[in-house]
Amino acid sequence: MAGLRTTINPDKATPSDLFPNAPTPLREHDETTHFSIIDGQGNRVATTQTVNLLYGSGLIPVGAGFLLNDEMDDFALKPGTPNAFGVMGYEANAPKPGKRMLSSMTPTFMESKDKVAVLGTPGGSRIITMVLLGILGYDDGLNAQQVAALPRYHHQWLPDVIETEKGSLSAETVRKLRAMGHTVIVPGEVKGQRSSDAWGNMQTVEWNKATNAMDGGSDPRNPVGKAEVRFDKAKVH
Ligand code: DON
């Protein structure tokens, strides 16, 4: 403290931009990161990595330089008790050897005679639905950027509600779903509900084997994401 105090000039304000350590821009998602890659030989990678919640367990092993996750939350500590994403776990998900955790992470390859697509996103339990919407988008003929930008909505059995991203369903669709008996959560409508304006951070690449063209899509919700196509033709023999 005494050392720090000596750096303060009591008579003159110090301009903030004289300090050397300007904050580094956020390059990655806080908890979960997804990469989708196809290289010039047609090799492909879909990887979703996570520390689970913000800063994981908040613990760094001394000298290791990385955060420990808090993935134990994806096991059911007590049967019938939801995890942080509201996903219900039972005895099959107990934190014991031979049991399975409730991961929603869904790094995905789609492959047909003519096309290969790689896609994935962070987003907890909503990941599965976001990836499914992306798969259906490709199936409907959307390009990679359109797939990454698709509006999102989600139902995960329990809680028995349809969650929606802001503006993803029209007021008319919400009205019709409610008339059918669905509970629809619209961000901002009811205070305290699990809802947020924008979900996920989809990264996706598509290779059209018929034309040999590559295309990339990066979620417009995350301004630091970037789709990079370094070659527009794969060299696959
Ligand atoms: O495996 C899972 O489903 C969760 N641990 C993923 C966490 C996550 O995506 C949080 N970030 N957005």
Q: How far is the CA of 105 from the centre of ligand 1 (A)?
A: 6
What value does the mean pLDDT take over residues 95-113?
96
| Percentage of the chain modeled with pLDDT above 90 | 73
Ligand 1 atom nearest to 87, measured from its CA: 3
Among 49-53, 140-144, 209-213, the minimum mean pLDDT is found in: 209-213
pLDDT in tens, 160-197: 999 999 999 999 999 999 999 999 999 988 877 766 78
Q: Mean pLDDT highest for which of 1-10, 15-24, 90-99?
A: 90-99
* Block residue for tokens 């005679």: 113
pLDDT class of 237 with cuts at 50, 70, 90? very low
The structural domains of the chain, with segments of one domain joined by +, span 51-103
pLDDT at 236 over 70: no
DSSP secondary structure of 53-97:
STTTTS---TTT-S----GGGGS-SSTTEE-TTS-EE-GGGSSST
pLDDT score for 24 = 63
Q: How far is the CA of 101 from the centre of ligand 1 (A)?
A: 12
What value does the mean pLDDT take over residues 61-77?
94
pLDDT in tens, 9-22: 899 998 877 776 66
What value does the mean pLDDT take over residues 83-107?
95
Residue 32 catalytic? yes
Residue whose Cα lies nearest atom 4 of ligand 1: it is 124
pLDDT in tens, 119-158: 999 999 999 999 999 999 999 999 999 999 999 999 999 9
Which helix H or strand E contains 162, and what residues bound it? strand 162-164
pLDDT score for 232 = 57
Q: How far is the CA of 188 from the centre of ligand 1 (A)?
A: 23
Residue whose Cα lies nearest atom 6 of ligand 1: it is 124
The best mutation among 26, 49, 52 to test binding of ligand 1, ranked by most ligand atoms within 8 Å of the C-beta, falls on 52
pLDDT at 101 over 50: yes
| Percentage of the chain modeled with pLDDT above 70 | 90
